[in-house]
Copies of this chain bind each other. A is one copy, B any other.
């Protein structure tokens, strides 16, 4: 009774398939994920998968939702009853949103291979909805109206995913054939510096800043810009519903 280890012997669930897919993806990358290997991982024949799942595509959708299984969001807002209550909105929304964004990034980053394959797949499973609900709640109590809160949520989500996508790719596609990240950075920088100073004066001058890749700093830069850009949208004092 209960869930036996995972490959008990009989009764493969769709969850099992999703988990197996994520495991393979993380272990061997994109090329490690085949229907045949997923089948083997759960102790079954390849053809059997098509009873549980219509497609490889559908399996990926499942895996996409399972990706959020162990993502624990920070508690949604938790208004401090004794704290300062600014009129029409709380201003601790920034650290709250920042924390969520950072956790989202590191979550995807520790599952790089899976993220690279699954990013861009919408598939808003139940676990993703939890994140969305709590983020919107935070923004609304901070004084954003519904439409802005929804748009901001989308903006943050797409930005973080796009960022991680770029972050997780070998920076110079061919050069990652065995070169430490710092070596790759130095090499990328040198490449930029050796460009024509006439044609690319700015790129050459800023080679160090472009080649980076201090990804943490870059992430914080983007996050700060997004939060600064959102700030003016808050209704810090609601004109119509004045207390």
A residues neighboring B (CB under 8 Å): 57-58, 61, 64, 116, 119-124, 129, 132-133, 136-137, 140, 146-147, 149-155, 157-159, 161-163, 165-166, 168-174, 195, 199-203, 205-206, 209-210, 212, 217-218, 221-222, 224-230, 232
Contact, CB under 8 Å: B140 / A202: yes
Residue numbers in B under 8 Å from A172 (CB-CB): 122-124
Contact, CB under 8 Å: B165 / A206: no
Residue numbers in B under 8 Å from A132 (CB-CB): 203, 210
* Min C-beta distance of A157 to chain B, whole Å: 8
Known: A133-B200, A155-B222, A174-B58. A169 touches B121 (CB 8 A): yes
**Copies of this chain, whole number:** 2
Q: Give the residue name and chain of the B residue nearest to A120 (CB).
A: B165
Residue numbers in B under 8 Å from A217 (CB-CB): 151
Partner of A161, one of B162, B200, B224: B162
* Min C-beta distance of A81 to chain B, whole Å: 20
A172 to B124 CA separation, bound complex (whole angstroms): 8
A210 to B162 CA separation, bound complex (whole angstroms): 19
Q: Which 3 pairs show the lowest CB-CB distances between chains A and B? A: A162-B162, A225-B229, A229-B229
Partner of A224, one of B121, B224, B229: B229
Contact, CB under 8 Å: B136 / A206: yes
A4 to B137 CA separation, bound complex (whole angstroms): 61
Q: Give the residue name and chain of the B residue nearest to A132 (CB).
A: B203
Q: Give the residue name and chain of the B residue nearest to A76 (CB).
A: B202
Partner of A151, one of B147, B166, B200, B221: B221
* Min C-beta distance of A29 to chain B, whole Å: 12
The contact sample of 7 A-B pairs, CB cut-off 8 A, is: A123-B172, A132-B210, A136-B203, A158-B165, A159-B222, A162-B162, A229-B229
Contact, CB under 8 Å: A166 / B199: no
Contact, CB under 8 Å: A209 / B150: yes
Q: Which of A121, A133, A150 gathers most chain B CB within 10 Å?
A: A150
Contact, CB under 8 Å: A61 / B149: no
Residue numbers in B under 8 Å from A166 (CB-CB): 120, 122, 157-158, 161
